[in-house]
Structure 1
Amino acid sequence: MSIDPSSIPSFGLPQPPQGGGQPGGAPAGPPPVIVPNQDLVAQLLDQMQLKHVVDEEGDLTAPWENFRVYYMFRGDHKELFAVRAFYDRSFSVEQKPEVLALIDEWNRETLWPKVYTHTHDDGVVRLIGESQMIVGNGVNLEYFVGTTANWTQAAVGFEQWMAEQLGETKPAEGDAAPAEDGPADEA
């Protein structure tokens, strides 16, 4: 999946005129600040042509073949926005040191998502990637849209990187394919 920045929607906000909107090219004013919500994220996912559903907890979820990405607002006033990817690949507890070495490399070399392990009661180790920002006081619309798109692309990129590190075959065309039959069961 490749996201063309020009395909990111304006969501109906007026675009500044060429030259900054003021005589002499001065900026027309501060960029629009919004408090994002789930509807805005759904519009963005639609614009990016990503299939998505609302899960049983009310979070937007975009499913891919080997993972799913959740778009969540948390906090008493929904002031924290998180993009969290749950990867289906499982590891044994004995493999955890090797897996930790791999994700440490990823976390050192990339900004997002930050990836960590979760060990289930049955000893199965799975990976979770997460990026988050505080949005309760408002955030620049363009920054929010661009960051959300980049975080989504990075979640896909981690899956591809991990498959390469483990010597697994990569999806055709270098892109992970969105799932066709809805989200997978949560790990």
Structure 2
Amino acid sequence: MGFFNKPASGPAGVLAPLSAERITGYLDANGMRYGVDDDGDIGGYWDGHLFFFFRLGEGEELLQIRGRWNRRVEVSELDAMLRLVNDWNADRLWPKLYVRVEEDVLGVYAEHTVDYRHGVTDEQIDLHVTATFSTALAFFERLDEAYPEQAAAAKAAFDQE
């Protein structure tokens, strides 16, 4: 298996519809802490960064995992941040990385979306989570190296919560 070790349940290789229960079952089986918001979106913090599991599409057949780098970087760093994101994206297939101006700071996101309209196996859920988390967190670590003061401040604040 991948980054985590246990599938949610079910026979290996069996396609079944994507559901919130399959996602939370996977997270539960791997001892991961998460919450569910009022819209039914599943989210939690991994290595201090907020990740959400969204089910999108008419039949909620698309699984999108989106993580946000949990650091405060001023908008004046937009050009430098775009260069870092573009350099990373040029060498990798996923996750998609992008930068948004959010009021007075930059939001940096990692996102990986897969269409499971024909169903999904537990192994595919594991692979999706593993690929997204490992590559997104590797990029977030790269950003922490580029912005060590912001990383230290965010880690200190997160540890106090």
Q: TM-score, normalised by structure 2?
A: 0.81
* 1:41 is the counterpart of 2:41: no
Q: Please name the residue that 1:51 is paired with.
A: 33
Task: Give the secondary structure class of the aligned counterpart of 1:138.
Answer: coil
RMSD: 2.8
Q: Which has the higher Rg, Structure 1 or Structure 2?
A: 1
Task: Assess if the C-alpha contact under 8 Å between 2:144 and 2:151 holds in 1.
Answer: yes
Match of 2:55 among 52, 63, 73: 73
The number of equivalent residue pairs is 156
Match of 1:135 among 92, 99, 116: 116
> Displaced runs of 4+ in structure 1, greater than 6 A?
179-182
1:126 and 1:169 map into 2 onto residues whose CA distance is 13
Listed as ranges, the gaps of 5+ residues in structure 2 are none
- Deviation sequence 1:67-101 (CA, Å, 0-9, x none): 20000101221021100012221322221000000
Over 3 Å counting, the alpha-carbon distance change for 1:96 and 1:155 in structure 2 is same
Over 3 Å counting, the alpha-carbon distance change for 1:10 and 1:117 in structure 2 is closer
Q: CA deviation at 1:132?
A: 0.2
Which residue identity lines up with residue 10 of structure 2 in the other structure? G
Task: Assess if the C-alpha contact under 8 Å between 1:3 and 1:48 holds in 2.
Answer: no
1:170 and 1:94 map into 2 onto residues whose CA distance is 17
Listed as ranges, the gaps of 5+ residues in structure 1 are 16-30, 183-187
